Amino acid sequence: MTNWQQHEEQGMAAIESAASSEALEDVRVGLLGRKSELKLALREVRERETGALLNGIRTRLERRLAERERSLASAEIERRLREEVIDVTLPGEELLLGHLHPITQVRRTVEDAFLGLGYEVRDDREVETVEYNFDKLAFLPTHPARSPRDTFFFDEHRVLRTETSPSQIHALEQRSPPIYMVSIGRVYRRDAITATRYPIFHQFEGLAVDRGITLADLKGTLLHVMRALYGPERRVRFRTHFFPFTEPSIEPDVSCGICGGSGCRTCKFSGWIEMGGAGMVDPEVLSNVGLDPAEWGGFAFGCGLERTAQLRHDIPDIRALWEGDLRVLRQF
C-alpha cells in the first residue's frame, strides 16, 4: 500500500525542487497526470474516507504546483528582463522621413495667419501682360521696373511678373468687394545671383478692399502676421516709402529678433528689419477696376518668402534655398 502521506511529502519536495517551467511540468505529469499513482488510485477508490484523503492530497498538490508555476514564471521574466538590458543610447532604426522646404513652411504659416483673419488665398499667372504688371498698377512710364534691365521681357507686351501685385487687379476684376485675399507665388527680377538676391523668388501679397479701411487697420494686420511668423514679442513700425499702386506707401519693419531691438549686426544696428512694402490702395488702382474710391478703400502689402525664411532660420545665403541640397533640407 502506498504511504499517501509520504507520497504527498515527496510530491511537495519534487515541486519545490523543480527549477524550471519544463521541469515543473514533468513533476506535474508524474504527480497528477492521467497515469499517475494518485489519479489511478482516485479512479479506483470506493471509500468515502480514502476518497476525501486522496482528494485533499490532490487539491494541495495542485495548489502548490500553481504557486510554484507562478514563482518560476516570474523568476523567468525577471531573468529575461535582466538579460535583455540594452544600451538605450544606441541609435534607433532609421525610418524614412521627408522634409517640407522652409519656403513651404513659411507659406503655410502665412496662409494660416490670413485664414485666421478671414482672407482667401490665391495665386495667378506668372507670365503677365505689361498691362496687368505695370499699367493697371499705376506704374509711371519712367518707373525703373519697366526697364528690360530690371524686368524679364518676352516681348514688349509680355513679362515675367515682377511682383504678385497683378493678383490685386485680377481679384478686383473677378469679384466685388469686400475682398480680403493673400496671393502667394513666384516672381522674377533681373538680378544677378548673390547671397541676398535670386532672380526668381516668392512673394506673399495681401489685399483688403472694403468700406472704411484705415492705415491703422494695415498696421494691426501686419502686426498679427509678423507675430505669426516671428513670434509674439515682435513689434512693428512703419516707414514712409513709395510704390506706384499704393498711397500713402509705407515699408513695415519688424523689431529685430536677434537683439530684441537694441541694435546688432543683423539689423544693421537699427533695431529694425525691413519686411517688404505696403500701403493704402491708390485710388487710381480702384478706378482702373471700376470701383469708386469715394466709397471703397483698401490696403495692400507684400513680403518675400525667401527673405522671411532667411530671417526665421538665420540662413545667410538665399542660394541655399534653391539648390536642393539635402544637407540643408534635412535641417527643416
Partner 1 sequence: MRVPVSWLADYVSIEMPLEELTSRLSVSSAEIEGTERIGLPAAPENEALLRVGRVLEVSPHPNADRVRLTRVDVGEAEPRSIVCGARNFETGATVAVALPGAVLADGLRLERRAVRGELSDGMILAEDELGLGSDHGGIMLLQAAEPGTPLSELLTLSDEVLLVEATGNRADLQSIYGLAREIATLFELPLAPIAADVLPAAEPTRQLVISIDDLVGCPRYIGRLFEGVSVGPSPHWLRYRLHAAGVRPISNVVDVTNYVMLALGSPLHAFDFATLHGGRIVVRRAARGEKLTTLDGSARELLADDLVIADGEQAIALAGIMGGAETEIADRTAAVLLEAANFEPTTIFASSERHRLRTEASNRWEKGIDPHLARLAAGLATRLLLELAGGRWSAQGDVHGALPERPVVRFRPERADALLGLETAPERQYKILEALGFERREGDVLVPTWRAHDVRREIDVIEEVARFRLDDVPFTLPVRREMYGTLTRDQLLRRRVEDALVGLGFAEVYTPSLRPDEETSWRLPDPISVELTALRTSLLPSLVEAARRNLDAGARGIALFEIARVYLPGGELPEERPRLAAIAQGGFLHIKGAVESLHAYLKAEPSFERGRHPLLHPGKTAHTAAGVLGELHPTQLDGRWGVFELDLGDLFALVTEPVVYHDVISYPAVREDLALVVDETVAAGDLAALAREAAGEELREIKVFDVYRGDQVGPGRKSVAFALVFQSAERTLTEEEAQALREKVVAAAAKRFGATLRSA
Per CB under 8 A, which region of 20-28, 33-41, 61-69, 241-249 contacts partner 1?
A: 241-249
Whole-angstrom CA distances from 324 to 99, 170, 188, 200, 201 are 11, 32, 19, 15, 15
Q: Is 290 in the site for partner 1 (CB under 8 A)?
A: no
What residues numbered 296-315 form the site for partner 1, per CB under 8 A? 297
Q: Which one of residues 100, 131, 197, 295 is an interface residue with partner 1 (CB under 8 A)?
A: 100
d(CA 184, CA 308): 13
Surface-to-core class of residue 217, CB atoms within 10 Å of its CB (0-12 exposed, 13-18 middle, 19+ buried): middle
Q: Which one of residues 23, 121, 130, 259 is an interface residue with partner 1 (CB under 8 A)?
A: 121
The 202-221 site mask, x for binding partner 1 (CB under 8 A), equals ------x-x-xxxxxx-xxx
In angstroms, what is the minimal distance from the CB of 246 to partner 1? Answer: 10
Q: Is 325 in the site for partner 1 (CB under 8 A)?
A: yes
Per CB under 8 A, which region of 13-21, 52-60, 69-77, 136-144 contacts partner 1?
A: 136-144
Nearer to partner 1 (CB atom), residue 77 or residue 127: 127
d(CA 209, CA 299): 7
E strand or H helix that includes residue 126: none
Nearer to partner 1 (CB atom), residue 18 or residue 318: 318
Q: Which one of residues 3, 6, 89, 240 is an interface residue with partner 1 (CB under 8 A)?
A: 240
d(CA 326, CA 332): 10
Grid coordinates in use for 324? 536642393
Q: Is 142 in the site for partner 1 (CB under 8 A)?
A: yes
Nearer to partner 1 (CB atom), residue 82 or residue 149: 149
The set of long-range contacts for 45-53, using a CB threshold of 8 Å and a minimum separation of 24, is 53/4
Q: Is 39 in the site for partner 1 (CB under 8 A)?
A: no
Size of the site for partner 1 (CB under 8 A): 84
The 219-238 site mask, x for binding partner 1 (CB under 8 A), equals xxx-xx-----------xxx
Amino acid at 218: L
- Beta strands 120-122; 179-188: pairing state: parallel
Q: Is 192 in the site for partner 1 (CB under 8 A)?
A: yes
In angstroms, what is the minimal distance from the CB of 88 to partner 1? Answer: 25
In angstroms, what is the minimal distance from the CB of 128 to partner 1? Answer: 8
Grid coordinates in use for 48? 468515502
Nearest to 239, CA basis, from 202, 275, 281: 275
Nearer to partner 1 (CB atom), residue 98 or residue 290: 98
Q: Is 323 in the site for partner 1 (CB under 8 A)?
A: yes
Count CB-CB contacts under 10 A for residue 243.
23
Nearest to 186, CA basis, from 206, 204, 168, 209: 204
Contacts of 111 (CB under 8 A, 6+ apart): 121, 182, 184
Q: Which residue has the cell 498698377?
A: 137
Per CB under 8 A, which region of 16-24, 53-61, 114-122, 166-174 contacts partner 1?
A: 114-122
d(CA 264, CA 245): 33
Nearest to 118, CA basis, from 179, 166, 176: 179
Nearer to partner 1 (CB atom), residue 51 or residue 220: 220
What residues numbered 147-186 form the site for partner 1, per CB under 8 A? 147-149, 152-155, 158, 160, 178-180, 186
What residues numbered 246-265 form the site for partner 1, per CB under 8 A? 247-251
